[in-house]
């Protein structure tokens, strides 16, 4: 913890101490199962628009990025697939039953306090049952998620960058009474996204610019936090995200026509109440209502109407109650029960109009002795589906266990040994089950088994090397009944089947260190490296048998260096991906080159009487690396961004 | 500390070196000289820009993929849906790239690309047929383009039904299957008859939901597969009298691709493991052979069917799992495998044409 403060002083030297201590309240390296964290001070310094950009710095993670500010960004952890990864926003799950994945480009980092990634989704704190229903969990928390941080505060800023980017934002926290704080944040984004790229077709090469890649979006939130006398806390959030964007599509040789548009309105209100009754019993109650509207327009679709204009409305009501009971000082029992009801409506003809009732119940125990920790739970999931047209999928009832243990060799030992096992599944999405003639209501859940063993090392060395943390985790995952879409008749008629089987062997390495040189100089370094052998073992006779699965590099990694001198901050970061294959057959024709992007930023704070003014300049992708994360969806090359912000001192 | 920093920086520079060491543009091998053999069009994957042409030489039994890119230095683009040899030229219909490639039939050297766009909007061409120095090309925008094969320009567009698929000429008339495929679930159900002296649509014949594939015999019979709607309307083969321009016979049968050779109609039937090639008599659509492949050869996923009328050889293409390189099988007229070859790295081979020097 001492070291995290030092780190905070480096990168965030002008913010108040409690901001820093809370975000770094616990060194995540000593967790029972792997947890990675990017805290506010690092997030502010990284050149990331969204959680989708920031999460690329985690090990074991693949962010599928279709390019640009408005491009879809989804996360897959340890090659288990985006649908196996949950996303929490201020402690409560965001879910999309239609596609089963959350677009991380919609989550801005501007007002985030931290982003955490939980492999295996093991928790020490009281959590809703649904949080346990994922193979891995990405958790984004705003300042409003930390009741103890509430105080009078304000912040304004403006970012301007390449390809027509403008991003103004504002946030206030006001005390409404002695114990209640109202927090308001808003951010607007406008970008043309018309970045240059090269079309390379053999000997023929052409410089072009991305078109129809523009986005306009607005994100606004109101948070009301009440901290009661008995230290129980009540947090309520209402948030809205409105966006209109072009869908530039894949680069198609000899055809650069692109006119498809997408509109989103996502609104939700969530409320959570935390109370500790006595030394033995604590309670968490939460509820959320989400409404998502999506409109997809293809104005040149060649049907009789001359356009395709699909509208979808998804609604979900969700509630959770969780209870922890301390049987002894070292043994805790916890139980959580959640329910969600989800509906999807569309203007599409013959649309199934599906709805789904989901119940999650989890019972767990935690055993915490000084040197030995154990965490075991069993999740029971019940799913009931209905449709207005066609046939609904059968009910599903699943029990899935999880177990994690950690041992420290001695009280003063810097080492920690840990292991976990988790069996979990992801449900077929509404698209998998019901989409036009493609969907298949006979689909079974897709199961994932995860085995992880790891060792971590954490040590405070000296003033110059305050803290050094290091972790190595090896894992073996199996995915059975993987849900994949294949063309059943021709390339226009696909069907979805439980066809795939994948074995994943991997190693995640994380390291970070921070310290001071002398007096006014301090530094922070964070490194992540991933090795993954993720192979398709579906069919022995297939050309892709035992080949690396698509878009999964064997080697990948990232690095962040931050240096601070008085009111100056400098940051260098890079992200590396090795070569990948675009299809299951690992032949040269399917090979996609690896890439590395490197970003730098420099900021200077000016201390005014009542406020701090910060000016920051960024140069992103400084080597102008041209690369695709997804083939034929080119990523931006070199770009700049300048920002100015002013916040209460 | 200094050591850490150095280690990090050197790790960073290693990254740069390793990511730049890949050779982006390996020199393509010298393409073989075309003699007598086959051209195979490999459709590729949607948004993959990986349509490829395979040349298979009969003299040395060697396939070359991608022959087009080897000859021309650049590749065809996205989703090739038809290939036609007509008047010494090779025409490749590129659906998603939305153009017609014109190349020399014997060298595959590009002559020109005929853009198939309405203003900037892609017409999405699908199939082509040659007739009296014209190439007639159906497009999803409900037109048939008339391309002059001498000037290689578009003379006119004939308006037909919605989302036309295959087309053919019988009794000097053009028949076009209007699928309406992009209007799910409200498919079209007609075949357009086009007068080839005026290049205008004469009439529409109702054949059943979602017509797609077509074939014709030499007696003026046009056969159309109406694929149905995958729910309550089942697939069927509909026979049209080209002279009377009316439906004469209809047979419920779950077939997809059909081809006619002599007095036999060959059809790929069923899906997945139950796929097989059926043979019907064109005279009355009675089944002549309910499993053409007689030697037990397994074709994983039948994707294309073509017949050499001179020898009676039947070519069946195999798209495997659709994302792995495909294979082409040649069977003699008795259903015994003669040879097969891989079109690697080509995906989804969908049409085979003979090239004779």
What value of ipTM does the predicted structure carry?
A: 0.91
Q: Which of A494-498, A568-572, B64-68, B195-199 has the lowest mean pLDDT?
A: A494-498
CB contact under 8 A, A561 and B5: yes
Burial class, A591, CB count within 10 angstroms (exposed 0-12 / middle 13-18 / buried 19+): middle
What is d(CA B10, CA B20) in angstroms, rounded to the nearest whole number? Answer: 16
pLDDT at A487: 57
pLDDT the model gives residue B26: 52
Output the pLDDT for position A461: 84
Q: Do B252 and B259 touch, CB atoms closer than 8 A? A: no
Cβ-based neighbours of A372, under 8 Å, separated by 6 or more: A405, A406, A407, A408
Which residues are CB-neighbours of B317 under 8 A, at least 6 positions away? B40, B302, B303, B304, B305, B326, B327, B328, B329, B349, B350, B351, B352
Pick left, alpha or beta for residue B274 (phi over 0 → left; psi -120 to 50 → alpha; otherwise beta): alpha
pLDDT at res. A496? 79
pLDDT per position as a tens digit, B270-293: 876 789 999 999 999 999 999 999
B78 versus B356: which is more confidently predicted?
B78
Q: Quick count: other Cβ atoms within 10 Å of Cβ A533?
A: 16
User: What are A363's strand-pairing partners?
Assistant: A335, A378
Write the burial class of residue A462 (CB in 10 Å: 0-12 exposed, 13-18 middle, 19+ buried).
Answer: exposed
Strands B99-104 and B89-94 turn out to be antiparallel
* Residue among B19, B50, B302 with most chain A CBs within 10 A, to mutate: B19
What pLDDT shows up at residue A4? 34
What CA–CA distance (Å, rounded) separates B107 from B101? 14
C-alpha distances out from residue A166 to A158, A215, B158, Å:
7, 11, 48
What is the mean pLDDT of the segment spanning B66-76? Answer: 95
DSSP notation for B143-203: EEEEEETTTTEEEEEEE-SSSEEEEEEETTEEEEEE--GGGTTS---EEEEEETTTTEEEE
Q: Is pLDDT above 80 for B203?
A: yes
CB contact, 8 Å: A557 with chain B? yes
Q: What residue of A is the nearest CA neighbor of B183?
A: A303
Predicted local distance difference test score (pLDDT) of residue B18: 40
Nearest to B216 by CA among B236, B239, B193: B239
Written as one string, the DSSP assignment of A369-408 is: -SSEEEEEEEEEEEEEEE-SSS-PPPPEEEEEEEEEEEE-
On whether any CB of chain B is under 8 Å from the CB of A486, the answer is yes
CB contact A347 to B (< 8 Å): no
pLDDT of residue B229: 84
pTM: 0.92
Which of B1, B184, B324 faces A465 most closely, judged by CB atoms? B1
Q: What is the pLDDT of residue A5?
A: 32
Contacts by A437-441, CB closer than 8 A, 24 or more apart = A437/A493, A437/A495, A437/B184, A437/B230, A437/B231, A438/A485, A438/A493, A438/A494, A438/A495, A438/A496, A439/A352, A439/A496, A440/A495, A440/A496, A440/A497, A441/A390, A441/A391, A441/A392, A441/A393, A441/A394
Which residue has tokens 């022959």? B67
Q: What is the mean pLDDT of residues B155-159?
A: 98
% of chain B beyond a pLDDT of 70: 92
User: Which of the residues B8, B72, B94 would you substitute to probe the A interface, choosing the one with the greatest number of A C-beta atoms within 10 Å?
Assistant: B8
CA closest to A563 among chain B residues: B5
Interface of B with A in 259-278 (CB under 8 A): 271-272
Residues of A in contact with B162 (CB under 8 A): 302-304
Report residue A462 CA to chain centroid gap: 34
Per the listing, tokens 């628009």 go with: A49
pLDDT of A279 reads: 86
The pLDDT > 90 percentage for chain B reads 83
pLDDT along chain A (649 residues), means of 10: 34 32 60 95 89 95 91 93 94 92 94 96 93 96 89 95 97 94 97 94 90 96 93 95 95 95 97 93 97 96 94 97 96 97 94 95 95 97 93 92 96 95 94 80 92 95 85 97 69 69 96 89 95 94 92 96 95 96 93 96 95 96 95 95 95
CA A495-A504-A480 angle, to 5 degrees, is 40
Q: What is the pLDDT of residue B20?
A: 41
pLDDT for position B274: 81
């Amino acid at each position: 913890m001492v070291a995290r403060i030092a780190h905070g002083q480096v990168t965030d030297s002008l913010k108040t101490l409690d901001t820093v201590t809370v975000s770094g309240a616990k060194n995540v390296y000593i967790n029972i199962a792997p947890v990675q964290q990017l805290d506010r001070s690092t997030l502010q310094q990284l050149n990331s628009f969204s959680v989708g950009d920031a999460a690329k710095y985690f090990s074991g993670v693949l962010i599928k990025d279709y390019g640009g500010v408005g491009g879809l960004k989804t996360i897959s952890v340890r090659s288990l697939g985006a649908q196996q990864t949950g996303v929490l926003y201020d402690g409560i799950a965001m879910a999309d039953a239609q596609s089963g994945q959350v677009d991380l480009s919609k989550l801005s980092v501007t007002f985030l306090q931290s982003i955490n990634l939980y492999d295996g989704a093991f928790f020490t704190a009281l959590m809703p049952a649904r949080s346990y229903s994922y193979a891995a969990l990405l958790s984004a928390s705003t300042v409003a998620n930390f009741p103890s941080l509430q105080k009078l505060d304000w912040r304004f800023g403006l970012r301007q960058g390449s390809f027509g980017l403008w991003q103004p934002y504002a946030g206030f926290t006001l005390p409404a009474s002695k114990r209640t704080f109202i927090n308001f944040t808003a951010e607007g984004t406008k970008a043309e996204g018309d970045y240059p790229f090269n079309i390379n077709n053999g000997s023929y090469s052409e410089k072009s610019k991305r078109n129809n890649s523009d986005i306009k979006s607005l994100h606004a939130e109101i948070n009301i936090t009440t901290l009661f006398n008995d230290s129980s806390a009540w947090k309520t959030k209402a948030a809205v995200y409105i966006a209109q964007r072009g869908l530039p599509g894949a680069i198609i040789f000899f055809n650069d026509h692109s006119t498809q548009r997408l509109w989103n309105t996502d609104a939700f209100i969530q409320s959570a109440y935390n109370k500790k009754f006595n030394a033995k019993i604590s309670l968490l109650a939460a509820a959320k209502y989400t409404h998502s509207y999506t409109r997809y327009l293809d104005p040149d679709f060649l049907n009789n109407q001359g356009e395709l204009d699909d509208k979808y409305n998804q609604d979900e009501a969700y509630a959770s109650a969780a209870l922890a009971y301390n049987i002894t000082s070292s043994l805790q029992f916890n139980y959580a029960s959640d329910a969600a009801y989800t509906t999807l409506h569309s203007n599409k003809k013959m649309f199934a109009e599906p709805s789904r009732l989901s119940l999650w119940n989890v019972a767990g125990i935690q055993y915490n002795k000084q040197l030995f920790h154990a965490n075991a739970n069993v999740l029971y999931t019940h799913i009931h589906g209905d449709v207005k047209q066609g046939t609904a999928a059968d009910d599903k009832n699943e029990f899935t266990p999880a177990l994690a243990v950690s041992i420290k060799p001695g009280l003063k030992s810097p080492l920690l040994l840990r292991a976990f096992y988790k069996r979990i599944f992801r449900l077929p999405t509404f698209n998998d089950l019901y989409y036009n003639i493609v969907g298949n209501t006979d689909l079974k859940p897709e199961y994932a088994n995860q085995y992880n063993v790891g060792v971590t090392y954490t040590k405070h060395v000296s003033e110059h090397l305050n803290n050094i943390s290091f972790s190595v985790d090896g894992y073996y995952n199996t995915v059975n009944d993987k849900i994949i879409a294949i063309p059943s008749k021709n390339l226009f008629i696909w069907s979805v089947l439980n066809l795939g089987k994948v074995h994943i062997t991997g190693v995640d390495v994380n390291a970070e260190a921070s310290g001071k040189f002398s007096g006014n100089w301090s530094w922070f370094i964070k490194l992540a490296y991933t090795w993954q052998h993720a192979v398709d073992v579906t069919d022995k006779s297939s050309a892709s048998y035992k080949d690396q699965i698509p878009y999964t590099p064997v080697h990948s990694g990232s690095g962040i260096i931050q240096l601070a001198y008085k009111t100056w901050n400098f940051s260098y970061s890079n992200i590396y991906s090795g070569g990948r294959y675009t299809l299951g057959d690992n032949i040269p024709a399917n090979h996609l080159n690896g890439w590395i992007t490197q970003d730098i930023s420099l900021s200077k704070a000016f201390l005014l009487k009542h406020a701090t003014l910060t000016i920051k300049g960024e140069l992103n992708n400084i080597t102008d690396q041209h690369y695709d994360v997804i083939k034929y969806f080119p990523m931006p090359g070199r770009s700049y961004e300048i920002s100015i912000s002013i916040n209460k001192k | 500390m200094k050591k850490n920093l150095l280690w990090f920086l050197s790790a960073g520079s290693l990254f740069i070196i390793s990511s730049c060491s890949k050779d982006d543009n390996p020199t393509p091998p010298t393409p073989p000289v075309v003699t007598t053999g086959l051209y195979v069009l490999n459709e590729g994957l949607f948004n993959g820009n990986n349509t490829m042409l395979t040349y298979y030489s009969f003299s040395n039994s060697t396939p070359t993929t991608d022959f087009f890119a080897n000859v021309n230095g650049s590749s065809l683009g996205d989703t090739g849906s038809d290939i036609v040899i007509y008047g010494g030229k090779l025409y490749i219909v590129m659906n998603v790239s939305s153009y017609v490639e014109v190349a020399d039939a014997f060298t595959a050297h590009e002559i020109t690309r005929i853009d198939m766009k309405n203003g900037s909007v892609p017409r999405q061409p699908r199939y082509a047929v040659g007739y009296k120095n014209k190439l007639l090309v159906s497009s999803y925008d409900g037109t048939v383009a008339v391309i002059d094969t001498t000037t290689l320009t578009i003379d006119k567009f004939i308006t037909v039904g919605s989302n036309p698929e295959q087309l053919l000429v019988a009794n000097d008339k053009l028949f076009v299957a209007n699928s309406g495929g992009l209007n799910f679930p409200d498919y079209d159900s007609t075949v357009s008859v086009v007068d080839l002296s005026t290049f205008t649509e004469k009439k529409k014949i109702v054949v059943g939901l979602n017509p797609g594939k077509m074939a014709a015999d030499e007696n003026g019979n046009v056969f159309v597969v109406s694929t149905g709607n995958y729910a309550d309307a089942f697939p069927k083969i509909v026979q049209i009298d080209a002279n009377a321009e009316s439906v004469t016979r209809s047979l419920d049968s779950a077939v997809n691709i059909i081809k006619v050779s002599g007095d036999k109609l060959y059809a790929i039937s069923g899906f997945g493991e139950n796929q097989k090639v059926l043979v019907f008599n064109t005279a009355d659509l009675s089944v002549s052979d309910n499993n053409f492949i007689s030697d037990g050869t397994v074709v994983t996923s039948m994707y294309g069917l073509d017949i050499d009328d001179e020898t009676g050889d039947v070519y069946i293409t195999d798209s495997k799992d659709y994302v792995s390189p495909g294979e082409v099988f040649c069977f003699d007229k008795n259903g015994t495998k003669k040879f097969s070859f891989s079109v690697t790295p080509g995906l989804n081979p969908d049409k085979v044409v003979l090239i004779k020097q």
